[in-house]
Chains A and B, each alone.
Chain A
Amino acid sequence: MNVDSDSDISISDYEENEAGVSRSRTKGKKKATDKRKKDKAKRKPKDVQAYTWEANFARSWETVQEDEGGSLQGAVNDWMARGRRKRLLQPQNAIRRTIIRHMVLLIDLSSSMMDRDMRPTRFAVTLQYAREFVLEWFDQNPLGQMAVVGMRAGVGERICDMSGNPQDVLKSISDRHKLEPIGEPSLQNSIEMARNSMNHLPTHSSREILIIFGSLTTCDPGNIHDTLDECVKNRIRISIVALAAEMKICRDLCDKTGGQFGVALNEGHFKDLLFELVPPPAQRALPRSSAAVSSSTNPAADLIMMGFPTRLPDTSPPSFCVCHSELRSKGFLCPRCLAKICDVPTDCDICGLMIVSSPHLARSYHHLFPVKPYSAVASFDNVADPSTSPSCHACSKIFPTTALHNIVDGMSAIGRYRCPDCETDFCSDCDVFVHDVIHCCPGCGE
């Protein structure tokens, strides 16, 4: 690597060449050499990451190459290919996922959230992304429940109780004046609060804490490592999206509990990091020994009693609901205690039965039965059969008749993607749409 050329070197390139030639050369010599010593001692890939400000500046706009015609089609194709490859890398067979999730969203409301390194402030960006995250999360995890806790002025502050209704959660984080950041954050206090609110949850559901952390300090009353041990014991998965920089304790919290840790580089990356946590996590296999010991409390699988409620028609005579004590005509009746509930899915306020409607169960099925990835058709030799139609099987867009050049791996030169089961061809837009949204193949559905 030519370090002196000073351009077009992305950070990842830099990491691979971790010889540290440039690091000792640049500023902060002492720190860098210390770090290098530690690297040699441990040889763990995680520790060799360079600080962002030590890496050379990556001119991302220069990596986008125009082709001869001045078009950006090649770059766009490259982006799409990246998504396709990602999907191909995913395991083909169904993996076990936690469908019933419980998450506490911990939002940093300390004064460091007023920093303006994200526009207009970290706080405003966080609130906006949190709202989008909540919507998407409930869309993908209809049986999940979420609570919101704020870290403000050294204490954990309950903003929203554990709720299965996205509107409740959204409402609680919609008013920014109630959430005005102030004081120091306390990781320990707020994690303890989140942990205690999840203590009673059944073992088959996941317990997760997602922390959006903007500060570089935490102001704790005790030893936070004890809290960490408790979280590990309670199988709470902690994921952190940091807005400032990586802290050792944050990294430890995530690594030991099996969560994800990321530092947001900019607004877009912040959103990506958040949304990576939307799909249900794969369930971790337990060690055989512990499963044998506690076979009666196998947390991986359980039979859950669920109630399928009766929906009251809009024209039914109004009556009081048990959740808001308001007079309404719409609602659902708990099949066990006949209490009237405004919205499903929820736990019955009277008898505690989990109440769902069948579409909520169905909404989770696509995580369990994914569509097989389509294979890219390489050239016209593969479509010589006259019976294959000249247009996309789903949207009837006419396929291009000339092959594209400079094709990257995973893309089809002729814009055709073939389902391995029904052997019909689809255009790239439909390929993405079928796998990301519909989750059933239009050809196989016949």
Chain B
Amino acid sequence: MDGSHLSVVVDLCPSQWHLSSLHQPYPLDLGSFVSQLLAFLNSHIASRHENSLAVFGAFPGKSVLLYSSANSPSETPSNDANSFPPFKMVDSTIMHNIVQQLDALDQGLDEEAPSALVGALTKALCFINRLTLEFNTSTANATEGLEPLTLSDPRILVLSVSPDQTTSYIPVMNSIFSAQKLKVTIDACQIYGPETVFLQQAAHLTGGSYIYLERRDALLQYLTMAFLPPPSIRQTISVPTQDKIDFRAACFCHKNIVDVGFVCSVCLSIFCQPVPVCSTCRTKFPIKTLQRLNAARPSLPLTSASQSRNSSTPPTPQKINGHASVTPSQPLGPGGLPPSGSINDNSTFHTNGAKNGLGLSG
């Protein structure tokens, strides 16, 4: 297959779009967003006849397939002499479905529920898997028993306006790994709201690009310049890449970002200090390990170590420069750290940890 496949996941959370339309100095409301999106989708279809397209909408608590070029439409739109029929069909189908879903939201569904980005993402992956299977059976390849082919350049573009949901961490990571397996590139564009670490990681791990939109009024320009070219020709043109991705982990006990953590070998839970019992899987750890780890811990408590990274007098300037650009994007700023940032007394810290652990085990 020559054409490339594009799946677009659109975050259509009404409350976030409302906030976006009020945001100064560059307000962007849902209406103008959709019109710019449709222009982008049309240009994808127009750039090659074989290109295929699927659009998934993530509504609060629900994800819906808005349009796909593989499913024949239920109703053909009335012919209009002034428009190219394929464009007309995409536009009217998507508009019809969005309006239908938003109307359905009024009737009962919880508007405050977070957007079902994960559901939409997994559906997009399943859809690409289906296309791959159909493509393989349709060609002679399958009958000759050769290795299954993959589609050329399948990709997913996520247009998000919602902040990260901490509960969806594992599903998002699972989706990223299956995208890697299918050789799908995930592009991400955060249109409104805080930077999302999950989408940054998704783009980085699958070789896509992540853009945080600063000039919201120029959305269409961003879309066409960065996301329209398929991944195969992106090497020859300059597409924004990202250097500052936060791959550090947060501990399960205090949600602190840790540099050196203690990990349960059974369930891989991360703790910022040695604990006698794993709070996730209730595994008891041997006493000797606790003693050894306590002895081997860095002399500075981890919390203050991570806070010193935010300070303006770094010991090694070149290394910390990379850091300083990372830290503002962390989901947990310095405010998230416990007030005990200056604790230097190890013993008090440990007894606290032991109490926590015992309390959990009891």
B268/A99 in contact, CB under 8 A:
yes
Assess whether B174 is in contact with A440, with CB atoms less than 8 Å apart: yes
> Is B264 in contact with chain A by the CB < 8 A criterion?
yes
Question: A359 near B173 (CB under 8 angstroms)?
Answer: yes
A34 interface residue per 8 A CB criterion: no
B288 interface residue, CB < 8 Å from A?
yes
Give complex CA distance A139, B265 in Å.
19
Contact of A301 among B177, B181, B283 (CB under 8 A): B283
Is A433 engaged at the interface, CB distance under 8 Å to the other chain? yes
The yes or no answer to A316 lying at the interface (CB within 8 A) is yes
Q: Using known A-B contacts A306-B263, A394-B126, determine if residue A313 contacts B268 with beta carbons closer than 8 Å.
A: no
Bound complex: CA A395 to CA B245 (Å): 31
Q: Residues of B contacting A100 with CB < 8 Å?
A: 265
CB-based contact A298/B286 at 8 Å: yes
Known A-B contacts A305-B260, A306-B260, A359-B205; A394 and B284 likewise in contact (beta carbons under 8 Å)? no
Binary contact readout B289-305 vs A (1 if CB under 8 angstroms, 0 otherwise): 11001001010000000
- Complex contact A306–B261 (CB within 8 A): yes
Partner of A316, one of B118, B119, B267, B318: B318
- Which one of A83-91, A162-170, A361-369 is at the interface? A361-369
Q: Which of A308, A368, A398 contacts B268 (CB 8 A)?
A: A368
Contacts known (A394-B122, A395-B129); A313 close to B174, Cβ less than 8 A: no
Interface stretch, picked from B40-48, B57-65, B188-196, B216-224, is B57-65
- Asked if A396 and B71 make an inter-chain contact with CB atoms under 8 angstroms apart, the answer reads yes
A217 at the interface (CB under 8 A from B): no
Q: Contact between A301 and B264 (Cβ–Cβ < 8 Å)? A: yes
Q: Which residues of A contact B133 (CB under 8 A)?
A: 429
Say yes or no: is B262 at the interface (Cβ < 8 Å to chain A): yes
- Docked CA distance A442–B289 (Å): 40
| Complex interface bits, B168-196 against A, C-beta within 8 A gives 1, otherwise 0 | 11110111111001100000000000000
Contact of A358 among B175, B244, B249, B285 (CB under 8 A): B249
Whether a CB of chain A sits under 8 angstroms from the CB of B10 is no
How many whole Å from A113's CB to the nearest CB in chain B? Answer: 25
User: Which chain A residue shows the least CB distance to B72?
Assistant: A398
Distance in angstroms between the alpha carbons of A306 and B326 in the assembled complex: 21
Residue pair A311, B290 in contact (C-beta under 8 Å): no
Shortest Cβ gap from B94 to chain A (Å): 14
Is A397 in contact with chain B by the CB < 8 A criterion? yes
Binary flags per residue of A249-269, CB closer than 8 Å to B gives 1, else 0: 000000000000000000000
Instruction: Assess whether B259 is interfacial by the CB under 8 Å rule.
Output: yes
| A304 nearest CB neighbor, chain B only | B263
In the complex, the answer to whether B127 meets A395 with C-beta atoms within 8 Å is yes
| Whole-angstrom CA separation of A333 from B285 in the bound complex | 29
Q: Is the CB of B173 within 8 A of A301?
A: no
- The docked-state distance in angstroms from the alpha carbon of A204 to that of B258 is 22
> Counting chain A CB atoms within 10 Å of each CB, which of B263, B265, B270, B323 scores highest?
B265
Supposing A301-B285, A445-B116 touch, asked if A310 and B323 sit within 8 A by C-beta, the answer is yes
Output the nearest chain B residue to A333 by Cβ-Cβ distance. Answer: B319
A385 at interface (Cβ–Cβ under 8 A)? no
Tell me, in angstroms, the Cα distance from A300 to B285 when the chains sit together.
Answer: 9
Q: CB of B247 within 8 A of chain A?
A: yes
Pair B127/A394 contact, Cβ less than 8 Å? yes
Is B146 part of the contact surface with A, judged by Cβ < 8 Å? no
CA distance A430 to B275 in the complex (A): 41
- Whether the Cβ atoms of B262 and A304 lie closer than 8 Å is yes
A120 at the interface (CB under 8 A from B): no
A362:B173 contact, CB within 8 angstroms: yes
Q: Which listed residue (A296, A393, A394, A441) contacts B288, Cβ 8 A? A: A296
- For B116, B170, B293, B323, the residue with the greatest tally of chain A CB atoms inside 10 Å of its CB is B170
Is A131 an interface position by the 8 A CB rule? no
- Kindly state the separation between the CA atoms of A393 and B275 in the bound complex, as whole angstroms: 43
Given A295-B286, A369-B170, A440-B174, do A304 and B265 touch, yes or no (CB 8 Å)? yes
Known: A297-B288, A310-B323, A438-B126. A361 touches B283 (CB 8 A): no
Docked-complex contact A302 and B285, CB < 8 angstroms: yes
B260–A335 touching, CB < 8 Å: yes
| B127–A316 CB distance below 8 A | no
Which residues of the other chain, B, contact A433 by a CB distance below 8 angstroms? 125-126, 129
- Does B322 have its Cβ within 8 Å of any Cβ on chain A? yes
Residue A384 interfacial (CB < 8 Å):
no
- Tell me whether B329 is interfacial, beta carbon within 8 Å: no
Q: Which residue of A is nearest B241, CB measured?
A: A314
Interface bin, chain A? 35 or more
Minimum C-beta distance from A297 to chain B (A):
6
User: Cβ of B123 < 8 Å from any Cβ of A?
Assistant: yes
A338 at the interface (CB under 8 A from B): yes
CB-based contact A438/B266 at 8 Å: no
Q: Considering only CB atoms and an 8 Å cut-off, how many residues of chain B contact the other chain?
A: 72
Evaluate contact between A439 and B247: CB separation under 8 angstroms.
no
Contact with A along B318-354 (1 / 0, CB 8 A): 1101110010000000000000000000000000000
Chain B positions within 8 Å of A429 at CB level: 129-130, 133
CB pair A99–B286 under 8 Å, yes or no, is: no
Partner of B287, one of A296, A311, A362: A296
Considering the chains assembled together, what is the distance between the CA atoms of A368 and B54 in angstroms? 32
Contact at B322–A313, with CB atoms within 8 Å?
Answer: yes
- The answer, yes or no, to whether B68 is at the interface (CB within 8 Å) is yes
Residues of the A chain whose Cβ atoms lie less than 8 Å from the Cβ of B129:
395, 429-430, 433, 437
B320: nearest residue on chain A (CB-CB)? A310
The distance from the CB of A286 to the nearest CB of chain B, in whole angstroms, is: 13
With a cutoff of 8 Å between Cβ atoms, the chain A residues found around residue B312 in the complex are none
Among B65, B173, B178, B316, contact of A338 (Cβ-Cβ < 8 Å) = B316
Determine how close the nearest CB of chain A comes to the CB of B34; give it in whole angstroms.
21
A315 within 8 A of B: yes
User: Does B243 lie at the interface of the complex (its beta carbon under 8 Å from any beta carbon of A)?
Assistant: yes
Residue A317 at the B interface, CB < 8 A?
A: yes
Min C-beta distance of B202 to chain A, whole Å? 10
Contact across chains for B61 and A446 when beta carbons are under 8 A apart: yes
State A400–B199 Cα separation when bound (angstroms).
36
Residue in A306, A397, A438 whose CB lies within 8 Å of B130: A397
Q: Contacts of A308 on B, CB cut-off 8 Å?
A: 247-249, 258-261
A302-B285, A304-B263 known; A430+B243 contact, CB < 8 A: no
Complex: how many Å from CA A1 to CA B268? 53
What residues on B are CB-neighbors of A300 within 8 Å? 266, 283
Give residues in B with beta carbon < 8 Å to A.
61-63, 65, 68, 71, 116, 118-119, 122-123, 125-127, 129-130, 133, 168-171, 173-178, 181-182, 201, 205, 241, 243-245, 247-249, 258-268, 270-271, 274-275, 278, 283-290, 293, 296, 298, 316, 318-319, 321-323, 326
Which A residues lie at the B interface, using CB under 8 A? 96, 99-100, 139, 204-205, 295-298, 300-317, 333, 335-336, 338, 353, 357-359, 361-366, 368-369, 391-398, 429-430, 433-434, 437-443, 445-446
Nearest first, the 8 closest Cβ-Cβ pairs linking A and B are A313-B243, A394-B126, A335-B259, A362-B173, A446-B119, A446-B116, A395-B130, A204-B265
10 contacts between A and B (CB under 8 A): A303-B275, A304-B264, A310-B319, A361-B249, A368-B267, A395-B123, A398-B71, A430-B130, A440-B122, A445-B119
